[in-house]
Structures are given as C-alpha cells and as structure tokens.
Chain A
Amino acid sequence: MLPREGSPGAARMFSPPFAGALAGLVALAGVSVLVGVGVTPLALFTGEAGHGLLVLAASRIPRTLALVFAGLAMGVCAALMQMMFRNRFVEPTTAGTAQAATLGLLVATIAAPDWPPLAKMAVATAFALVATLLFLKIIARVAFRGAVLVPLVGLMLGGVIDALSVFIAYRYDLLQALGAWTTGNFSGVLRGRYELLWLTVVLAGIAYATADRFTAAGLGDAFATNLGLDYRRIVAMGLAIVALATAACIATAGTVPFLGLIVANLVALALGDNLRRTLPWIALSGAAFLLACDIVGRLVRYPYEIPVGTVAGVAGSALFLYLLLRRRLRLG
C-alpha cells in the first residue's frame, strides 16, 4: 500500500532488488539440482541410456521444488501467525500447530493406513486447526500476556502434544515414522511424493492477495474493525491457511522449527511490517534459507547427508540468538 503508484504491490514486487534476490534463488535451485550422490553434474545431462535425466526428473528436481515450496510456506505461515497473534515469536512450531499436525498424521497412519496422502493430510490439517484454536483460547485466558509468555505457552502445548505422539508411536512401533515428520528431511522426496506441496504455492498466493487484511489485523482488532474488516474472519482465514500449509509440509518432508520465525523477523527488521511489501521477500527468503541449508547438509559429509533440519537448526539458532539479543526488536 504505497500512495504514489497505481498498483503499488505489483510494482514493488518486481523491483530491481527483488528481481536480484529471485535470480539468487534460481541460482541456488540450480546448485541444488546439480549437487548429489551417484551422478556427476555433467552426467545428469549426458549420461547413457537417460539415467542422468531420470535422476534429474525423479529426484533432484522434485527435491529442489519441495525445498522451495516448504521454505516459502514456513516463512509465510510464520508471518501470518505473527500478525494474528501480535507476537513476533509465534509460528507453527511455537503454537502447537506443527506438533498437532504430526499427531494427526500419526493417528491417520494408525487408523487408516490405506488412505491416500491427501486424506491423511486433511486429518493433519484438522488436528492443526484444533490445536491452534486451543492455543488461541489459552492465550485469551492468560491474564499476563507477555511477549515471551505467549510462545512459551505455545511451546508447552506443543510439548504436551509431542508427548502424546511419542507415546502413541511407541505403542504402535512408529517411532521411526514420527522421527521423519518431526525432523525436516528432504532426502526421501521423489516424484509422486511431493506434489501436495504445490498447495502451499496456492496458499501463499491467497495470503499475498489478502496481505493488507493481515497487516490490519496485526494492528489490532479495533484497527481492523475501524476499517470495516471482520477481524474474526481474517483470523479464521489465516488459521486455515497456516494449518493447511503446515500439514502439507509435515506430510511431505517434515518441518523445520524456527525457520519461518527467523525469516519473518529478519525481513521485518529490514523492511517493516507491511505484508503487501514484505510477504514476497519472506517467501523468497524462506525458500532460499531452506535450500541453502539442504545443500550444505548434502555437502558437509559428502557422500553422506545431514538432514536439513539439523543444519537449519544450527544456523537458525545462531540467527535466533542474534534476534533475541538485538535490542531493537520490540517484543510486542
């Protein structure tokens, strides 16, 4: 929402810096496609009997796309939640959302193992929605709503849900599957197993189209109501987007704690809180961060792999500490 141009969002979105950053993301994606075990970059395109092309089409490109989609989804989800909860430390993994989606997948896997991935994801979405609404209710009842208390309550809620998941998984001998959902790992992403993540692109598009509403909601319910907006409807829509996108990520490759939170905060520090302007940057940065972490994870102990969740955890913790210790970050 800039007053000077006719359609400011579009004009800003393809500003030279953003175009440059987009080119950077494409370059990272290129590296991600080329890096890996078994086939040298050259052989990908020249290998005999189309073997290289098969690796490319069945594994490398799906993995790269999955990383991009999951990364942008984590960033966008965190940005929306920070606006809806008016707290900079809230994101799917600090509000019980991601943990509940995992529990939902676990329950679906036990109760209906034959269901298609889409149906399991729907169950995960429902669980995620319920947990996030529960979090919202708990927060509304807490008398002292300190900036740090809100995510702490969310982490506790997530911990309780996690404990339940571990108990159930232990009973049904599914601890390994649980581990796959809770630590982000994209090494198993293949053609035919990541397509759910296209949904996150659609959801990010919806979030961008309605970005002004979320910014207004971030300024408070009185602010939104004054502008003629229905605050509750904005929150309901935001929660639906977050629950769906989180469930899609977890069903496909697991989630990476704090990644969205860090990306959303760094972009807010640099560019402010106007989502119409910042959401493209948040989506792009989330995708680039996840891609970079995955590439590092593939190279550090080559030819073995470190899960992207571990790499992102190390890199993210350092950034998170920087954010926490930075005095300018207003804890509101």
Chain B
Amino acid sequence: MIKVANVSKSYGTTRVLDDVSLSLPKGGLTALIGPNGAGKSTLLSIMARLLSPDAGTVHVDGLDVFATPGAVLARRLAILKQNNQITPRLTVAELVAFGRFPYSRGRLTREDAERVSDAIAYVDLSAVQDRLIDELSGGQRQRAFIAMVLAQDPACLLLDEPLNNLDMKHAAAIMRLLRRAADDLGKTVVVVIHDINFASCHADRIVAMKEGRLILQEAPAAVMRPEVLRAVYDMDIAVHEIAGTRLAAYYR
C-alpha cells in the first residue's frame, strides 16, 4: 500500500533521514514513534510529497508520489500537518468542503455536499458546522481538520502529531476516531505520535525511528518492552500490563 524505498534526506550537513525503507500493508493504524529529531515528521512529509527526498522513492497504491499529478494523488492520500500558527477564519462546513476540492475543484455537486455533511457528522461536529474554526476548542478544531481529510476520502491518511495540545479526553477521542476510520472505513492510517501509550492502546503496528533510521516495525506488544524502549529512547522505562494493554511509566 505504502512503500518507502531507500529514502534519504539531509539539511545542510545534517542527515535527517538515512536510507529509510518501509512497507505498510493496506488498512490498519500505524504509529510512528521515536525521540525528537528522529525524522518522523520528515518521513511523513516525504510520504505525502510535501518534501522531496535527496534519494529514494515513495509509492502509494503503486503510484510514485513525486510523479503522479497532485489532483490524482489527493484522492488516494491525505496528510494533516500540525499548523499551529494560523487558524483560518472559515466555518467548519467551509473547511470540510475543501476536502472535496480534488473531486469538484470548488464547485460542489450534490454528492460532494452529502460527503461533507457525512464527514462532519462522523466527527460529531454537526451542531457547530456553521461556527468559525477559530471559535472552537482545540479538540473540536482538530476534529474539523480530520473531517476535512475524511471528506477527501483517501485510501491513506497521514497525520503529523494530531494529539498535540489536546487534553486527555480529546486526545483519546481523536485516537478512537482514527481507530474507527481504520476499522469501519478501511483507511490506512499512519500517525506520528509522542505518547507511546496511545500507540500501545490503539495502533496495529508501531514503527520506531531514531537518528534518521528506522529501527523496528512490530506489533505493540513486541515494542512495549523495557529493553526495546530503552533502545529507542535511551531511557529506562518500566512497562506494566493493565487490563491486557501494555503501558509505559515514563514519568519519573
């Protein structure tokens, strides 16, 4: 589904990604973890053709992301970056309608309109759909952006730190929402995430990066072990199993 082959990227003399190869199957939720500066966001941006790599290729659904016309790719793949500088003065409905741009070029058909209101309902924002985004809470705002990429109806959904600045309740709600998108809608979801416990609870597989390299790709149960986490984060982390889920206690 997503195939990253030998991707490298440098900024000046700093090598941000070093010969990264990754193959993700169709469907499921993949969490991309690792310390700051590991190259997670860079890799995600390259997968979504926002950045071009110095070397290597990325294929989504068999399409080379750097050779496929933008509008064609926009129907297969969507990325949501953390944009904390500006919140637009658009209503929720207007923002979500932009998700249909790859299909309708701004002239919404009846089907587009239905998909927009379905997406808004899916993230439970119907009641505030005519409010401006900048009047919403952080959690609602994040859901509005997720509704937009859902309206875009891509097979692959890439999200860069979607839990940033969210409290526990809203972070958990976003993860459940992404889980549902993977289970009910059959999306291939890739999430860059800092809190490994969210990855452990919601992800089907965890991809760990460190210093620009991909160091492992395993099921959560295999990753959530002190010796593995030590290798990723250079830190002693106790792991407890609570109600069948492995949780890391990394607060001390």
In the complex, the answer to whether B79 meets A222 with C-beta atoms within 8 Å is: yes
Residues of A within 8 A of B109 (CB): 6
Interface residues of B in 102-122 (CB under 8 A from A): 102, 105-110, 112-113, 116-117
Report the 7 A-B pairs with minimum CB-CB distance, sorted nearest first. Answer: A228-B74, A228-B71, A228-B70, A212-B106, A3-B116, A1-B97, A272-B89
Q: Is B233 an interface residue (CB 8 A)?
A: no
The interface-forming segment of B80-88, B220-228, B237-245 is B80-88
The answer to whether B73 and A273 touch across the interface, beta carbons within 8 angstroms, is no
CB-CB under 8 A for A2 and B94, given A222-B83, A223-B83: yes
Contact A3 B106 (CB under 8 A): no
Q: Which residues of A contact B96 (CB under 8 A)?
A: 3
Choose among B75, B79, B89, B152 the residue that contacts A273 (Cβ–Cβ < 8 A): B89
B108 touching A6 by the CB < 8 A rule? yes
Q: Mark A210-228, 1 if CB is under 8 A from B, else 0.
A: 0111011011111101111
CA distance A173 to B97 in the complex (A): 56
- In angstroms, Cα B89 to Cα A216, docked, is 12
The verdict on B69 contacting chain A, using a C-beta distance below 8 Å, is yes
Please tell me if B198 contacts chain A, counting CB pairs below 8 Å.
no
* Closest A residue by C-beta to B82: A222
Min CB gap B154→A, angstroms: 9
Category for how many chain A residues contact B: 35 or more
Q: Are B50 and A216 in contact (CB under 8 A)?
A: no
In the assembled complex, which residues on chain B have CB atoms less than 8 Å from the CB atom of A86?
86
Most-contacted residue by chain A among B83, B94, B112 (CB, 10 A): B94
Taking CB atoms, residues of chain B closer than 8 Å to A15 are: none
Question: Chain A residues near B231 (CB, 8 Å)?
Answer: none
A131, chain B: closest CB distance, angstroms: 25
Asked whether A276 lies within 8 Å of B93 as measured between CB atoms, the reply is no
The reply to whether the CB of A330 lies closer than 8 angstroms to some CB of chain B is yes
Give the distance in Å from the alpha carbon of A276 to the alpha carbon of B132 in the complex. Answer: 16
* Chain A interface mostly: loop
A229 on the interface (CB 8 Å rule)? yes
B residues within 8 A CB of A220? 81, 83, 86
Q: Please judge, given known A-B contacts A3-B117, A274-B90, whether A225 and B108 are in contact too, CB under 8 Å.
A: no
B93, B97, B101, B110: the one within 8 Å of A228 (CB): B101
Q: Mark A1-39, 1 if CB is under 8 A from B, else 0.
A: 111111111000000000000000000000000000000
Answer yes or no: B55 CB below 8 A from chain A CBs: no
How long is the Cα–Cα vector from A227 to B105 in the complex, in angstroms?
10
A113 within 8 A of B: no
User: Which residues on the A side are within 8 Å of B87 (C-beta)?
Assistant: 330
User: Quick check: A219 and B101 within 8 Å, CB to CB?
Assistant: no
Q: A1-B97, A222-B79 are in contact. Are A272 and B90 (CB under 8 A)?
A: yes
Give CA–CA (A213, B80) in the complex, Å: 18
Using Cβ atoms and an 8 Å threshold, which residues of chain B touch A230?
Answer: 70
For chain B, give the interface size range: 35 or more
Q: Mark A109-152, 1 if CB is under 8 A from B, else 0.
A: 00000000000000000000000000000000000000000000
Chain B CB within 8 A of A332 CB? yes
List chain B residues, Cβ under 8 A from A7.
Answer: 107
Let me know if A226 and B48 touch, CB within 8 A. yes
Contacts of A332 in B (CB 8 A): 85-86
What's the Cα separation between A246 and B192 when bound, in Å? 44
Please report the C-alpha to C-alpha distance between residue A96 and residue B56 in the assembled complex, in whole angstroms: 41
B164 to chain A, nearest CB (A): 15
The answer on a CB contact under 8 Å between A215 and B90 is yes
A212 CB contacts on chain B under 8 angstroms = 98, 101, 105-106
Bound CA–CA A2/B101 (angstroms): 12
Check A228–B106 contact: CB distance below 8 A: no
A268, CB-defined interface residue at 8 Å: yes
Take A2-B93, A216-B98, A332-B85 as given contacts and tell me if A226 and B117 are in contact as well, using a CB distance cutoff of 8 Å.
no
Residue of B nearest to A227 (CB): B101
Chain B's closest residue to A268 (CB) is B89
Give CA–CA (A330, B96) in the complex, Å.
22
Contacts of B94 in A (CB 8 A): 1-2, 272, 274, 277
- List 9 A–B pairs whose Cβ atoms lie within 8 Å, in order of A's numbering: A4-B113, A213-B106, A215-B88, A220-B83, A222-B79, A226-B152, A228-B101, A272-B132, A330-B87
